[in-house]
Amino acid sequence: MLLDALARTSADVAATSARLRKTELIAECLRQSRPAEVPIVVAYLAGELPQGSIGVGWAGLRELPPPAGTPALEALEVDAAVARIASISGKGSQAARRAELADLFGRATEREQRFLRSLLLGELRQGALEGVMLDAVAKAAGRPAAEIRRATMLAGNVGAVAASALGGSDAGLDGFRLTVFRPVKPMLAQTAEDLPSALTRLNPAAIEWKLDGARLQVHRLGDEVRAYTRNLADVTDRVPEVVQTVLGLRAESLVLDGEAIALKPDGTPHRFQLTMSRFGSRNDADKGKSVPLSTFFFDLLHIDGEDVLDRPARERLAILDRLVPPRSRVPRIEAMTHADAESALAEALAKGHEGVMVKALDAPYEAGRRGGSWLKLKPTHTLDLVVLAAEWGHGRRTGKLSNLHLGARDPATGGFVMLGKTFKGMTDAMLAWQTEKLLELEERRDSYVVHVRPELVVEVAFDGVQTSRRYPGGVALRFARVKGYRPDKGPGEADTIDTVRAIHEGSA
């Protein structure tokens, strides 16, 4: 398949907001793909690289050759080139990467270059979310969507399932079963506005502390234990404490879901970044080993040859409680009244944790899905910040200023300190308005960023503040999203960098 066909499909998918039309477009593209191309087509149309991030940034894409005139680049050729770029390391690697990128982009048309640039930078936002992709695979293969979803849940890879489903074998999907040491995508939660609404939606329900740790799925077979992150990366060598905890359980085979978190002597959590230092580079991980990780499990998917993920949560949790001692379980109560739930939330917050999870006791474990039977509730922080610049959007946001650069006021200098970026939380109407407004405030621009006079104040919600070497203030916001603009406030009324640092210190 030509890359041009993928670029055209991507543009068409981005141009429509109708889920059914998106599904039809992707399904037709999949039908035209050869078997070896299917995993690549699935990944690219989902805005991902099969190789993951390969370390190519804007700097590496600034000087590229002129586009080719005629489409001739095959998807398999692009995948091979990306694999080569990902493997380049050591002395002279930058020059070698530039040469590979120049060769690849020199063979691409203008449309293909735009598609490749967005793909390599992880900015291909076209609305082809996993749910749409799964429906498209089902439509292309003529299989029930439920079969495709379940196979993907167990495989942890849409591309592999698509290749199997489109291969024409009725038995192909039967090979995707829960297998120890083959991690599955974790179940995710939706967000609840408050406890009363959550308990109205889910009843009966358990209230569980929401820990701000590292999500881990832990597999055991005999004396071998493997630990996987929420992205299914094997991090066993980084978490020996977790391995020892699981080896101490009385079972032959297990698949557990839980959290690893660094705790202070009083039981309150260290900063999230200290926990995550155990999962970063080798040097960071070695430095972080001076602070041990505590392990807390909250669900069970498999035990001693039996898959239990389809059983109601009440049954899974009963087995978990018999197997795992309280010190290694996430604190949990069954919510009998709203007062019980409020008490659990207050206790979790008092211990320095994020909030609570509300989980339906009669629901199965929906691996890989943001199921409605899990709801998360955590208080959020908000700040009034100043827009310092904005980046041009991609996909449906092409032609709109989308990714905002956010700054806090610095009383010492009278300037502003950048805290990070966000493109989340914006409606189409907000995008149109802010594009027009920011262009009125433009001071200068480069290839993809418009720098503006710091006059526009925006209210931003975020989950926390973390240490950052990337930004001059030494801190950055976690999971920032726009709540709305504050035309009633001027830049002199924006929150200060001192306030941000105080929030950071408060989570130390």
Closest of 289, 287, 319 to residue 301, by C-alpha:
319
Q: What's the pLDDT score for residue 288?
A: 47
Residues 417, 472: Cα–Cα separation, whole Å:
7
Exposure letters 26-57 (e unless 16+ CB within 10 A, then b) = bbebbeebeeebbbbbbbbbbbbbeeeeeebe
Quote the tokens at residue 135. 């429906």
Give pLDDT tens digits along the chain (508 positions): 999 999 999 999 988 888 899 999 999 999 999 989 999 999 999 888 888 878 787 777 878 899 999 999 999 999 999 999 989 888 888 888 889 999 999 999 999 999 999 888 877 766 557 788 999 999 999 988 888 888 887 877 888 889 888 886 555 677 777 889 989 888 988 888 789 989 999 989 999 999 988 999 999 999 999 999 988 889 999 999 999 999 999 999 999 999 999 999 998 998 777 888 888 655 444 544 578 999 999 999 999 999 999 899 999 999 999 999 999 999 999 988 889 899 999 999 889 888 999 999 999 998 877 778 999 988 777 889 999 999 999 878 889 999 999 999 998 888 999 999 999 989 888 899 999 999 999 999 987 899 999 999 998 988 788 888 888 888 999 889 998 898 878 888 889 998 888 888 765 4
Between β-strands 475-478 and 464-467, what pairing exists: parallel, antiparallel or unpaired?
antiparallel
| ω into 240 cis (within 30 of 0) | no
Distance CA 173, CA 264 (A): 46
Is 221 strand, coil or helix? strand
Residue 170's pLDDT is 53
489 is catalytic: no
| Cα distance between residue 170 and residue 154, in whole Å | 17
Which one of the listed residues 139, 185, 210, 421 is annotated catalytic? 210
Q: What is the dihedral of CA 196, 201, 207, 211, to 10 degrees?
A: -100
Q: In this structure, are strands 370-377 and 188-191 parallel, antiparallel, or unpaired?
A: parallel
**32: its two tokens:** 């035209």
Q: How many C-beta atoms surround the C-beta of residue 117 within 10 A?
A: 19
Residue 285 confidence (pLDDT): 46
Task: Report the number of secondary-structure helices (H) and strands (E) in the chain.
Answer: 17, 19
Cβ atoms of 398 and 376 within 8 Å: the answer is no
Strand ranges for 346-432 from DSSP E: 355-360, 370-377, 381-392, 401-409, 416-422
Q: Give residue for tokens 């804007």.
A: 58
- Count CB neighbours of 412 within 10 A: 10
Task: Give CA–CA dist 304/427, Å, rounded.
Answer: 49
| The pLDDT of residue 273 | 72
How confident is the model over 87-99, as pLDDT tens digits?
988 888 888 888 9
Token digits for 62?
């600034």
